[in-house]
Amino acid sequence: FLSMLKEKCQMTDGEWEERQKTRQLEMEAVSKALAVFAGDDAHDLFTKTFNPAFVQTRSAEESQRRAQASKVLSAVASKVHSPRLATLAYQVKLDAFTRVKKAIDDMIAQLLKEKDAEIQHKDFCVD
């Protein structure tokens, strides 16, 4: 049992080192990509090819519609004393990328949990 445990810990240590190297390479690649995008050549290319016709113009109009819909729902909710309708009005008001933000927050939380679990497992194998 002890030899299997030591073997598994050695294998886990190897995997840990490999993941660390992979993460470091990923961070380097992202840094290089950001340097390319932030460089003068990219800026010059962007200014040459920028077309103001593609600028988003409907966002303000949609947010006004969303605010109006939220007001109507809130008024009806208070009139009929419906907490569910009030909740819906509140969600309509705040629903700009809410799902995307939640998904990102969930992913970050999951990655932090995995990191903690890996650290605990590595500490267990080292001790």
**What number of other Cβ atoms are within 10 A of residue 89's Cβ?**
21
Q: What mean pLDDT value characterizes the chain? A: 78
DSSP string, 106-126: HHHHHHHHHHHHHHHHHHHHH
Which tokens in the block code for residue 19? 């993941």
Q: Which residues contact 76 (CB under 8 A, 6 or more apart)?
A: 82, 85
Q: What digits encode the pLDDT tens for the residues 55-101?
A: 666 666 667 777 887 888 888 888 888 787 787 777 777 765 566 46
Quote the pTM value.
0.35
